[in-house]
Amino acid sequence: MIITEILRRNARLYAGETALIEREPAKNLRKEITWAEFDRQADAIAAVLIRKGVRKGDRVVLLMTNCIEWLPIYFGILRSGAWAVPLNFRFLSPAIARCTRISEARVMIFGEEFIDRLAEIKSELDETVFDYIFSGPEELCPDYAQSYPSLIADAPEGIPQPEISLYDTAGLYFTSGTTGKPKAVRLSHRALEFSCYVENRHHNQTHEDNFLCIPPLYHTGAKMHWFGNFMVGAKAIILKGVKPHWIMEAVSEEKATVVWLLVPWAHDILIAIENRELRLEDYELDQWRLMHIGAQPVPPALIRKWKEVFPNHEYDTNYGLTEATGPGCVHLGIENTHKVGAIGVPGFDWECKIVGAEGEILPAGEKGELLVRGPALMDEYYKNPEATAAVLVDGWLCTGDIARMDEDGFIWLVDRKKDVIITGGENIFPVEVEDFLMNISRIQDVAVIGVPDERLGEIVAAVIRVKPGAVLSEDEINEFCKGLARFKRPRKIFFDDVPRNPTGKIEKPKLRAKYKNAGQTLNLGN
C-alpha cells in the first residue's frame, strides 16, 4: 500500500482523532489537526497542483522549516503524481538554485524564512519554476507567489488524481557527494512504504503511541522514524525548538512515548538534569518508553549515563543513509543494549556484508567496507550515472564506511572511507569548506578535518598555512566564514603546516591524530 493510501486509511479509521500536533514554545503556540484534516489538506494541495498543470513525474520543491503544514503538503505533492523534492532549510541561495535546476522543478512551495534567499536567485529559478506557493502569513506573501492558505481554502473538489504504483518515483532527496556538492537520490514509493514497515517492526509502535519529532522533516531520518507511528495511525508532535525544558515539557504535556534524539540534545538534557536546571519530578514521564538516536556515532558513555537517569527506557540506535531511504538498514535493537557502541545488526529484511578491496567477504574482526542491500535502496543518483555506478554494485549499496563485524554478528563502524564530517547529525564535506577558505588571498594552504566532540560527535576544524610574510587572525577568518551556512563554519582554527603526500593529497589522518584532543569535551562519567 503506497503511503498516500495509508493516509487515506488512517483518515477513514481515525477521522476525528489527532494526527499531528505542532508546538512552538518560544511563542507559546500549539495547534493540531486530525487525520481527516490531514487527508483533506493533502487532497487540496494535490488539486491545486493539478489545476496548475502539474503532471505525473513533474517535480515540486518543498523548502520549509518544520511546521504542521509540512507533511500534508508533502503528501499532497505525492498524490498529484509529482516527485517531492524536500530541500535542506540550511541551504544558502547557491545550493537552493543548484538543486532546483538539477530537479527541473516546476513548482516551489516555500516558507517565510526563505524570502531573502530566494530574492537573490529568483531570476535563475524562473528558468524552470513556473509557480511559487508561499506557506507563510498572507501579509508577507511576495508578489510573485500565491498564498497557500488561500489556495487551500479555494481548492476545487473532485479533481481526479493520477494512478500511482509502488515502483513510480516518489521524490528526490539531496545529499552530498565526495565533491561536496549535493547529489539527488531518487526514491520510489516502494522504498517509502517499506520504510514504514521497517520502523514499525523495529520499535513496535501501536495506535496508542505518540512520537516526538524534533529533527528536520526534509531529512529522511525524521520522516522515516515517524513512519512507524504513521503506519498505525498514531499521533505525532512536531516540536519547533531543542531546548531541554521544551523537550521535557512536550513529552510530559503531550504524553509522548517515543522520542528520537540527536546526540547533542541527549547531552543537553543530561547536563541540565545534572545541574538541576531540569527536575524530573516536575514532569510526567512514566509513559515515555523509548529513546533512540541516529545520524551520527553515539558515545557509549552517553547511553550508560542516560540509562542511569532513565533506567526504564528502551534504547535503540539506527544506522542509515539517504540512499537507503533513511534509518534502519542497520539497527542495534532495543533488546541489545549490552552491545552499545555497535551500530547493530541488519535491519528488518535488510542484508549487510563487509568486504575487502577486491569485494571479498571478510571474516569477523577484519575491517572493510560496509555494503547493504534491501527493498528501500535508491533507484539512482538522478542525472549522475557515473556516481550511481560507483555505489550500486550487483544490487548492493557501497556505503563508503569502514566497519568490522564481531563474533556475534554485530557491526561496528571503524572510520569513514571518505572524509565526511558529521556534526550534530549533519554531513559536512571538507572540500567545500576548503574551497571557500581559499578565497582568502593570504591563505597558502588549508585542510579541513573533523575533531571529536562529545556533544556534536565532531566539530569542524581548519588547519591553515598562511603565505610567507602575511598576517591573518582567527577573528578575520571567523568573520569571513559568515558567508558559510552556520553548521559548516570551523569551530577550531589552527595555524600550522598542511602535510601532503607525494601525489599532493592532504594527509588528513596525520592531522586528525595530531588534533584529536582539540575538541570540546563534557564529563559524562565512566
- Please give the domain boundaries of the chain with CATH numbers for all domains: 3-12+35-191 (3.40.50.12780), 352-416 (2.30.38.10), 424-514 (3.30.300.30)
Average pLDDT in the 488-493 region?
94
Measured CA to CA, the distance from residue 491 to residue 462 in angstroms comes to: 8
Q: 503 falls in which pLDDT band (50, 70, 90)? A: very low
CA distances from 314 to 25, 310, 341 (A): 27, 9, 16
Q: 511 falls in which pLDDT band (50, 70, 90)? A: very high
Cell of 500: 601532503
| Range name among 38-47, 113-122, 429-438 with the lowest pLDDT average | 429-438
Bin 41: left if φ > 0, else alpha if -120 < ψ < 50, else beta: alpha
DSSP string, 453-495: ETTTEEEEEEEEEEPTT----HHHHHHHGGGS-GGGS-SEEEE
Q: 255-266 pLDDT, tens per residue?
A: 999 999 988 788
Q: 524 falls in which pLDDT band (50, 70, 90)? A: very low
Q: 501 falls in which pLDDT band (50, 70, 90)? A: low
Q: 441 falls in which pLDDT band (50, 70, 90)? A: confident
> What is residue 256's predicted lDDT score, i.e. its pLDDT?
98
> What is residue 193's predicted lDDT score, i.e. its pLDDT?
96
Residue 94: CB atoms within 10 Å: 12
Percent of the chain with pLDDT over 70: 95
Q: In angstroms, how far is the first alpha carbon of the chain from the final one?
A: 47
Measured CA to CA, the distance from residue 227 to residue 132 in angstroms comes to: 28
Measured CA to CA, the distance from residue 39 to residue 31 in angstroms comes to: 17
- DSSP letter for 520, please: -
Average pLDDT in the 26-38 region?
97
User: Taking all residues of the chain, what is their mean pLDDT, rounded to a whole number?
Assistant: 91
Bin 230: left if φ > 0, else alpha if -120 < ψ < 50, else beta: alpha
Q: 304-345 pLDDT, tens per residue?
A: 889 999 999 999 999 999 999 988 999 999 999 899 889 999
> What is residue 505's predicted lDDT score, i.e. its pLDDT?
62
Measured CA to CA, the distance from residue 184 to residue 310 in angstroms comes to: 40
> What is residue 275's predicted lDDT score, i.e. its pLDDT?
87
Question: SS3 for 152?
Answer: helix
> What is residue 454's predicted lDDT score, i.e. its pLDDT?
84
Q: 411-430 pLDDT, tens per residue?
A: 998 766 667 788 888 878 78
177 pLDDT higher than 70: no
φ and ψ at residue 59, rounded to 5 degrees: -115, 140
| Range name among 9-23, 163-177, 246-260 with the lowest pLDDT average | 163-177
Q: 217-251 pLDDT, tens per residue?
A: 998 888 899 999 999 999 999 999 999 999 999 99
